[in-house]
Structure 1
């Protein structure tokens, strides 16, 4: 594994911990819509970091689409009784699966992912431009 992949994975672990910490901090001091919306957006951001951790060379668009699809899958699975039953038995299951469907979350997951896709795109373009500088043109 290359050094760049190791650094990327370390950055994703640190980012996921930071996003989770922010979500729990907001939950501790806020109540209502801000708590709910930020929780969904930060959950989407955490899933994005997991996708990059698993496959560092993935394109931003694929990573973002995968993260949003996964979040939506989990959210829509809450229309069945399975996540609620598992959440009653386990704190971890409640954190990972939630307990009940909320259509507002479906909108907020992409909001948490889109800014990371944009940042990933910019960083990737900047890294590639440094690795492959365009040759200077000589005057005739």
Structure 2
């Protein structure tokens, strides 16, 4: 199989990719809720930050199933950081007072260490996305 044919095969099934991304998003949210249920303090907070970025990465793949792992991780990290820097304004805090959903999505208070943990989540998501794509390419090449 040529390199071009391999690339086409790997990106040929956006429906499967979207289903996998949707499943990964659900699992990631479950992991975040589970982490909050069994842990407290910094572990729960910063683990949640990393999982927030992983979830954003899964949503990027859901919307754009042919996205590369690096682009998905970069996009998720950019959104995570943008939301965190938005917290330097009063907008997220005001919205969080009125809406539980806004509080979950936007937070309310800027915390510089969160920026690092978002990067950890982006790297973890990139590694998993790369591994899944690589294993899929190897599997497709055998059929």
Determine which of 39, 42, 48 is the counterpart of 2:57: 48
Q: What corresponds to 2:32 in structure 1?
A: 23
Unaligned runs of 5+ in 2: 1-10
Higher RCO (CA 8 Å, separation ≥ 6 residues): 2
Question: RMSD of the alignment, in Å?
Answer: 1.8
Quick one: structure 1 residues 29 and 124, their matched pair in 2 at CA, closer, same or farther if it must change by over 3 Å? closer
Determine which of 75, 78, 82 is the counterpart of 2:87: 78
Report deviation, 1:28.
Answer: 2.3
TM-score (norm 2): 0.84
Matched, 1:65 2:94: no
TM-score (norm 1): 0.86
Return the index of the structure with the highest Cα Rg: 1
Q: How many residues align?
A: 132
Matched, 1:14 2:23: yes
Matched, 1:34 2:43: yes
